Amino acid sequence: MAKGKTDGRQERLLIKVIMPKQGAERKVSGGGGKGKPFRDVDSKYRSRLSGQVSAIRKAVAPQIKTAGAAPVRVKLLGKATAKSHRPKQLFSDNTCPIVGGGGVGELFIKATHDGLESLVDVIETGDSDQIIKELSCVEAIEPITPRFRRNGLNARDLLRRSPRGTDGFVTRVKLFDFGDDEDQEKLLADFRRRCHVNGMEIQESRGYSSRSYTFPVQCETVEELEKLSRIIGVRSINPMPLIRTIRPKMIDTKPLPKMPTPDDVEGEFPVVVVVDSGVSDEIDGLERWVVGRESAVADEYENTEHGTFVAGLICWGDVLNPTIDGLDRSPCGVFDLQVIPNSDPDKGETDHLLEGEFLFSLEEALQQHANSFKVWNLSLGTDEVCSLDRFSILAEELDNLQEKYQVSFVVAAGNFTTPPLLDFPRIDAQLEQGRITAPADSILSVTVGAVSHVGYKKDGPKQHHPTPFSRHGAGPNHIIKPDLVHYGGTCSTDFSHQSGIRSVSKDGSAENLGTSFATPLVSRTLAQIYHHVTPTPSPVLARGLLTHHARDPRTRLRVPDGDENFFGFGLPATVPYCLECSPHTSTLVFDDVLRPGYFLEWDNFPYPPSLCRDGRYFGEIWMTVAFAPTRGSRWGTEYCETHIEANFGVYFRERSRETGELKPKPKFRGLVPPEHKNKGQLYESYQVEKLRKWAPVRTYHGNMGENGERGDRWRLKLQLLSRHGVERTEKPQPFSLIVTIADPENKVMVYDEMARLIRNRFQSQNLTVRAGARVRAKQ
C-alpha cells in the first residue's frame, strides 16, 4: 500500500500521465434546425437597412477611391450574437465580408463600391430563409466615426492624456485588418500618405508585431489629431501607454540579517527573469543569486529600488516573512532584465518608457534567454483600465511573445491608489473604478492579485481577504482575472495603517505593499513547477498544474461562485504538494490535442471500486482544463477563437413511468460541472459572462455527497468549439486536462486502486519529478 507523505521524506505518490491518442475520436453531429427570424423582415425594415447602406455609400465614396475599401460597423440584436446566428451570407465576399469584431454584438465589414451596391440589392430583394433569418439579426449598419475611433474622447482630452514625444504628443494608432488581400496594403498606404500630407510623424513601430498594424503617431495640435481621426483605415486612437512600476514606500526599515546564498544550497535551483527597474548589485548576498544581467536603461536614469524589492521576494521571501503561510520555500535565483527608468524626481533624473519600447526590449531578451528561463516576472503595468469588450494591445502582444517563445509571464493585476481605497465586498461604484489595468488582461499570462496577511477590525480587510489596493476583474470577454492571488502587504482603506510584506531595500530590509509584490511569490512557485517536472513541461501544462490545487485562502476550499473576480482560482499550492498525490487522492494528466469538428471520449472510465457501494458512486472530483486558444486581435471581444468543453459523469438507465422497467438506452449525466457559472441564461452574451465560455483556463468540481450518485459507468468527454470559421483550418488544439479523484473522508486508498486500474486500462507513466534543491540546515 502507498504510504502517506507526512514529513516530506516518505515515498512520493506521483501524478499519472495518460499517454495521448487513447481517447476515441468521434465526429460532432450537425447542429439544429434553421431557427426562426428574430423579428418581422417586412418592407419597412428592409427600407431602413438599405437606407443606412445608401447613406454610407455616399459618405465613404471618396475614401474608397483612395483606400480601396472602407470599414463599416454592424450592430446585432443582443439575442442574436451567437456564432450560429452570424450573418455570413448577408455579409459575404459577394457583398461586404465580415473582417472583424468589437464588443458583444458588434461586427465590422469591408465595404467597396460594388460590395455596397450588392448589399443593398440583397437587403431589398433577398428572400431565402437564411437571408431573412440573417436580416432579422441586424440592428444597424453604421459608418465609423472620428469619435468612435477615439473611444468616445474628444480630441483635446486625448491629446492632453498622451505623453510628450520629440515632436508633439505620442498617440497609439491601430488600423483595421482586412486580412491577407491587396485591400489591406492599400489601406496601409493611404494611412501613411495622409499622415505625411498632414505633417504627422509615424514613429518607428518597433516592438509591435507587423500584423498588429499598430503605430506610434505624434500629433502637435488638436487639429492634427482631428485629421488623424478621420483617416478611413484607423480603428482606434489612444494615448500611448507608459510602462510603470509603483514607487516603493519603504516602511519599518531594519538591518538585513545574514541570508542564505547559493553556497548554502544542495542541488540546482530555478531562475525567474525579473523584468523591472533593475536589481542592485550592492546588497550583501543578493548579488550571489543573480545569474545574469541585461539593461536597456541609461546610467543616469537608474533607480533599482522596485526591482531589488521584487528580486528579494523571489530569493528570500520565505526567510524574510516567516510568519506568512503559503510561501514557497524552495531556493530560487533571478536574472536581472532592467528596462524601466527612474520616474521619481527625488531619486535623480527621470525618463519614461513607451509601450512599444518596452515590447522591443522584452523581445530582444526573449530571443537570447527564452530557452534558459521559462518564467518572466512583470511586476509592472499601465494606467489603461481594461475594457470588458476588447483586449488591450499590450495584452495581445504579450500573448504573441509567450506563444512564440514558449514562456510564461506572471503579471501584476494593478494597484488602486486613490483614497479611500477599495472595500470588500466592493460597493457598486468601486466595481468599475477598481478594474484591472493593462496588461493584466493578457490571456496567456498568469495575473496576480493581492490578499491581506493580517486582519483589521475596522476600515480595512479581514485576514486573507483582498487588499484595498488590489484591482479586480473580470477581464475582457468576462475571463477570470486575476488568475491567482498571493500576499502583497496590506493597509487600511484610508492608508493610515500599513502592514507590508518584507523584502530587500538599500538600507537592509523593509516592508512594502502592492500587487507588484504578490506577483513574484507566484512566479517562484511557477518556476519551481517548470524546474521540477522533466522534461520541461509546456506553458499550458505548467499553468494547469499551478492552477489545479489553488484554493481560497480564507477557507482552503474552492473559491465560491461570485468571488472569482477578486480571488481568481485562489492561492496556489507550493511544490511539491501541487505535483504529488496523497494516499486518498489520484491525479491524472491528459496532454493531447483536439481537432475541430471532433470530440475525444474515454468511455468506461476507471473509478475506484471502494468509492462505489450499492450501485452508487461516492467521492470528490476536480478538474482543470488549460489551453492556449487560437486568437485573433481583429475580433475584439471574440479575441479567443477556440474553446474546450469538458464533461465527466456517468451513464444511467431511466425507468419507464408506464411499466417501471429500465429503458434500454442509457442517458449521460455530468457529475463534475464547471465552476463560476450560472446556467440560467441562454444567449451567447450571457454564456460568455456567466459560463466563462471561451476562457483559456476552466475548473470543474463535483462532490457526490453522503448519498452518492447512481450510474452504470463513467465517461470523460472533451470537445473543441471554434468561431469565425476557424474549423476550416483544421488546426488541432493542444490542451492539458488534470483530473483528481479523491475520498473527502480520507479513508479509501484511492491512489493504489487507481494505479492498478490505470495500469490495466491505459498506457501511462508517472509525471517525472526531479528532486528539488534545498537550503542546507545550519550546523
Question: Residue 372 and residue 527: Cα distance in Å, rounded?
Answer: 12
pLDDT at 677 > cutoff 80 = no
Question: Residue 577 and residue 745: Cα distance in Å, rounded?
Answer: 19
Residue found under cell 474546450: 644
pLDDT at 694 > cutoff 90 = no
> What's the pTM value of the predicted model, to 2 decimals?
0.94
What was the pLDDT predicted at 9?
Answer: 42
**Closest to 331 in 3D by CA, of 349, 345, 317:** 317
What was the pLDDT predicted at 8?
Answer: 42
Question: Residue 524 and residue 522: Cα distance in Å, rounded?
Answer: 5
Mean pLDDT of the chain: 92
Higher pLDDT, 206 or 499: 499
Question: Residue 274 and residue 307: Cα distance in Å, rounded?
Answer: 7
What was the pLDDT predicted at 6?
Answer: 39
Q: What is the pLDDT of residues 556-614, one digit of tens each?
A: 999 999 999 999 999 999 999 999 999 999 999 999 999 988 999 999 999 999 999 99
Residue found under cell 477611391: 65
Q: State the pLDDT confidence band at 523, using cuts at 50, 70 and 90.
A: very high
List, in sequence order, every residue forming a beta bridge with 109; answer none if it has no partner.
72, 98
Q: Residue 125, SS3?
A: helix
Question: Residue 752 and residue 760: Cα distance in Å, rounded?
Answer: 13
Amino acid occupying residue 384: E
Q: What is the pLDDT of residues 405-434, one digit of tens each?
A: 999 999 999 999 999 999 999 999 999 999
Mean pLDDT, rounded, for 150-160:
96
What was the pLDDT predicted at 3?
Answer: 46
- Which grid coordinates belong to 366? 526573449
Mean pLDDT, rounded, for 72-87:
87
What was the pLDDT predicted at 471?
Answer: 98
Q: What is the pLDDT of residues 613-656, one digit of tens each?
A: 998 999 999 999 999 999 999 998 889 999 999 999 999 877 76
Give yes or no for a contact between 144 and 99, defined as CB atoms under 8 angstroms apart.
no
What was the pLDDT predicted at 245?
Answer: 94
pLDDT at 449 > cutoff 70 = yes
Q: State the pLDDT confidence band at 303, using cuts at 50, 70 and 90.
A: very high
pLDDT at 658 > cutoff 80 = no
CATH number of 16-29+581-774: 2.60.120.380
The number of beta carbons lying within 10 Å of the beta carbon of residue 658 is: 6
Q: State the pLDDT confidence band at 5, using cuts at 50, 70 and 90.
A: very low
What was the pLDDT predicted at 66?
Answer: 87
Give yes or no for a contact between 502 and 510, defined as CB atoms under 8 angstroms apart.
yes
Q: State the pLDDT confidence band at 719, using cuts at 50, 70 and 90.
A: very high
* DSSP-derived pairing of the beta strands 333-338 and 271-276: parallel
The number of beta carbons lying within 10 Å of the beta carbon of residue 338 is: 20
Residue found under cell 493593462: 438
Going edge to edge, which strands form the sheet with 375-378? 290-295, 333-338, 271-276, 375-378, 408-412, 446-451, 484-487
Mean pLDDT, rounded, for 304-322:
97
Phi, psi of 216 (to 5 degrees): -80, 125
Crossing angle for the helix pair 515-532 and 305-320, to the nearest 10 degrees: 60
pLDDT at 522 > cutoff 60 = yes
pLDDT at 1 > cutoff 50 = no
Q: What is the CA radius of gyration of the chain?
A: 28
What was the pLDDT predicted at 436?
Answer: 98
Domain ranges, ordered by start, for the chain: 16-29+581-774, 43-144, 151-239, 267-577
pLDDT at 689 > cutoff 90 = no
Phi, psi of 226 (to 5 degrees): -60, -45
What was the pLDDT predicted at 682?
Answer: 47
Helices (H) and strands (E) in the chain, counts: 16, 36
What was the pLDDT predicted at 691?
Answer: 64
Question: Residue 65 and residue 124: Cα distance in Å, rounded?
Answer: 26
User: Which of these ranges, 36-40, 441-445, 693-697, 770-774, has the smallest mean pLDDT?
Assistant: 770-774
Residue found under cell 485576514: 463
Q: State the pLDDT confidence band at 729, using cuts at 50, 70 and 90.
A: low
CATH-assigned architecture of domain 151-239: 2-Layer Sandwich (3.30)
What DSSP string describes 588-615?
A: EEEEEEE-TTEEEEEEEE---GGGEETT
pLDDT at 546 > cutoff 60 = yes
Using a 10 angstrom Cβ sphere, with 0-12 exposed, 13-18 middle and 19 or more buried, the burial of residue 340 is buried
pLDDT at 28 > cutoff 90 = no
- Which grid coordinates belong to 634? 481583429
Question: Residue 736 and residue 751: Cα distance in Å, rounded?
Answer: 21
Phi, psi of 379 (to 5 degrees): -85, 65
**Closest to 140 in 3D by CA, of 72, 85, 86, 88:** 72
- Which grid coordinates belong to 760? 490495466
Give yes or no for a contact between 285 and 258, defined as CB atoms under 8 angstroms apart.
yes
What percentage of the chain exceeds 90 in pLDDT? 81
CATH-assigned architecture of domain 267-577: 3-Layer(aba) Sandwich (3.40)
